[in-house]
Amino acid sequence: MRKWHRWLSVFFAIVMIFVAVTGLLHYVVVWWPASEPTAQQIAAAAPPPGFVCPEGWRCIAPAPEAANNPLRPYLGLIHHLHAGSEGGIWGEIIVMLSGLALVFFTVSGMWVYYQMWQNRRARGLKKGLFWK
């Protein structure tokens, strides 16, 4: 199990770091402090006269672009990179496999740790859950 854990982690660490960085970047862009919208921005975001939101739809006016957020125009790209959509079906498969790999690494890491703990206990070495 230790070999599988070690060798698979080499490949999936790169993918998981990419997914983590794009996920963090997405939230940095979304939570970036925005200045109050001007009257022109509010008017531009308003629906055209006579527009009625169809039944069952969720019609929300787009948020005015924050002048102090240089990454806001790239929010869609960041989201697609995070989800793997920019890589087509293979990008989505790799992102999905990295999610499954996270579960595998959690279980196999606990298994390897348990075996190490059991081995130390059997040899009469330092007791406890953590050791140096």
Segment 73-100 mean pLDDT: 86
Task: For residue range 27-47, list pLDDT tens digits in order.
Answer: 888 777 767 777 777 777 777
Phi and psi based region of residue 84 (left: phi greater than 0; alpha: psi -120 to 50; beta: remaining): left
Segment 108-123 mean pLDDT: 86
Q: Give the Å distances, CA to CA, from 42 to 22, 63, 95.
A: 30, 9, 38
Contact 78, 30 (CB under 8 A): no
Q: What is the pLDDT, as a whole number, of residue 62?
A: 60
Residue of higher predicted confidence among 43 and 96: 96
Segment 85-106 mean pLDDT: 87
pTM of the model: 0.55
Mapping DSSP onto H, E and C, the string for the chain reads CHHHHHHHHHHHHHHHHHHHHHHHHHHHHHHCCCCCCCHHHHHHHCCCCCCCCCCCCCCCCCCCCCCCCCCHHHHHHHHHHHHCHHHHHHHHHHHHHHHHHHHHHHHHHHHHHHHHHHHHHHCCCCCCCCCC
